[in-house]
Amino acid sequence: MQINKKKLRLIIGIIVFLIALLAAFVAFKDFIFDPIVHPLKTAQTIEYGIVTDSFKIDRNEVKTGENLGGIFTRFGVEQKIIDKLPVYSEGIFDIRKLRSGNSYTAMMKNSTANKLQYFIYSINDTSYVVFDFRDSLKVYRDAKKVVRRLRSVSGVINSSLWTTMQEAGADPDMAVALANIYQWSIDFYAIQKGDSFKAIYEELSVDGKQISIGEIHSALFVHNGKEYYAHRFEQDNITDYFDQNGQNLRKEFLKAPLKFSRITSKFSNSRMHPILRIRRPHHGVDYAAPKGTPVHTIGNGTVLKAAYAGGAGRMITIRHNNGYTTSYMHLAGFAPGIRPGAAVSQGQVIGYVGSTGLSTGAHLDFRVYKNNVAIDPLKVESPPALPVDARYRTSFDSVRILYEKNLKLVK
């Protein structure tokens, strides 16, 4: 039987197609074929751990005189739920401590009903409390992620450390932090024009906003031409600051019993008394400060006296090691627990600046005695705390070299 040429060409075409299809199947047997068109995926918006895309958002601040119940009423929360707020939030958040000016975020269903689903109140920059209204009310606390970044700062002092920090664009709290580190070795009431500093520290931020400074890792303070290094180092689970030789910056006595004040009268054997108008010894240092300023003990010890003492006004006397005693005079009052026999620790608040006794204004008269002999408080040589232990010396030197190399790069 003779095959029609057209049919033959058709049969050959079909065979060629089938062979091509088989070849394609073999070549792509490991591939999975999806539809050419894919649905686009959009990134979800997440706040406080909540996907917010389906909510209507209301951001605001607590107004003066507002309370949580009033705010919830405005958002349509039923009164029976508001009445039980203290029960739901017990042990989690005290609803009476709502502060005006603090922010809150309300999340409602994106519908005509605008039913409140979540209410988030910011306690501070990091902590917040969530009121979940979706089913029965649930209350819980959480915190935002704090990001730590290493930063550096430097400056030359023209007036005060505080002002120089502001001029350098740094957080003024850095001045307090440096004063705390160097309080045993530098008298910050005596810093002068031309003194300088460098520091490497942690900057803490939340949602891209700086909230505070963290630990200072290393610092160099030049005072009266002398270099004072401070390197943060941990040994035996205790963190201290050490100089370049591994000596502890922390000492038996603080340099001063007050923070950020000024000296109005120094140690003298013949000073004109401002009230009595006669010359007599003034065996102490007067620090001018606002009434109520906290007064700190300069070292560990035991309270010998805490009472009114005539011209000295309210006075505290503390016995320390090695025959030292210190006295704090003209106080407005004593801190809780300060009484004869009480043990106190270095830096503890023991009283408050006042003007009791023979005094022309609020100030602290501070005195130091060694074996009952008055000595100039500004010239007390205090022994340091424990240095870097020999077991950790290699580790400390490695850290110190790295810190000092980085400090040289700080401009």
d(CA 180, CA 230): 11
d(CA 365, CA 286): 5
* Contact residues for 254 (Cβ-Cβ < 8 A; gap 6+): 183, 184, 296, 298, 299, 346, 347
Q: Mean pLDDT score of the chain, rounded to an integer?
A: 85
Domain ranges of the chain: 46-143, 147-242, 262-379
d(CA 77, CA 63): 19
Out of 57-66, 103-112, 381-390, which region has the weakest mean confidence (pLDDT)?
Answer: 381-390
Q: Contact 172/162 with Cβ under 8 angstroms?
A: yes
Can 46-143 and 262-379 be said to share one CATH topology?
Answer: no
Coil, strand, or helix at residue 9?
Answer: helix
Fill in the DSSP letter of residue 3.
P
Give me the phi and psi of 298, to 5 degrees please: -80, -10
Instruction: Name the CATH code of domain 147-242 (choices 1.20.140.10, 3.30.2350.10, 3.10.450.350, 3.90.1200.10).
Output: 3.10.450.350
Report the candidate in 231, 282, 274 with the shortest Cα–Cα distance to residue 399: 231
* Contact residues for 297 (Cβ-Cβ < 8 A; gap 6+): 257, 318, 326, 328, 344, 345, 346, 347, 348, 350
Continuous segment of H or E residues that includes residue 153: strand 147-156
Whole-number pLDDT of residue 271:
53
d(CA 32, CA 29): 8
pLDDT, average across residues 206-227: 92
> Which DSSP string do the residues of 203-222 spell out, in sequence order?
EEEETTEEEEEEEEEEEEEE
Identify the burial level of 273 via C-beta atoms within 10 angstroms of its C-beta, where 0-12 means exposed, 13-18 middle and 19 or more buried.
middle
**Whether pLDDT at 331 is above 50:** yes
Q: Write out pLDDT tens, residues 137-181.
A: 999 999 998 999 999 999 999 888 888 888 888 888 899 899 889
**Whether pLDDT at 5 is above 80:** no
Instruction: Name the CATH code of domain 46-143 (choices 3.10.450.350, 3.30.365.10, 3.40.190.10, 3.40.50.1370).
Output: 3.10.450.350
Q: Contact 401/231 with Cβ under 8 angstroms?
A: no
Report the candidate in 227, 189, 206 with the shortest Cα–Cα distance to residue 404: 227
Continuous segment of H or E residues that includes residue 393: helix 393-409
**Whether pLDDT at 243 is above 90:** yes
| 350 confidence band (pLDDT: 50, 70, 90) | very high
| % pLDDT > 90, the chain | 55
Fill in the DSSP letter of residue 314.
E
**Whether pLDDT at 83 is above 60:** yes
Q: Write out pLDDT tens, residues 293-322.
A: 999 999 889 999 999 998 899 999 999 988
Q: Contact 228/182 with Cβ under 8 angstroms?
A: yes
Whole-number pLDDT of residue 227:
96
| 135 confidence band (pLDDT: 50, 70, 90) | confident
Q: Write out pLDDT tens, residues 14-45.
A: 666 666 555 555 544 444 334 444 444 556 78
CATH superfamily of 262-379: Glucose Permease (Domain IIA) (2.70.70.10)
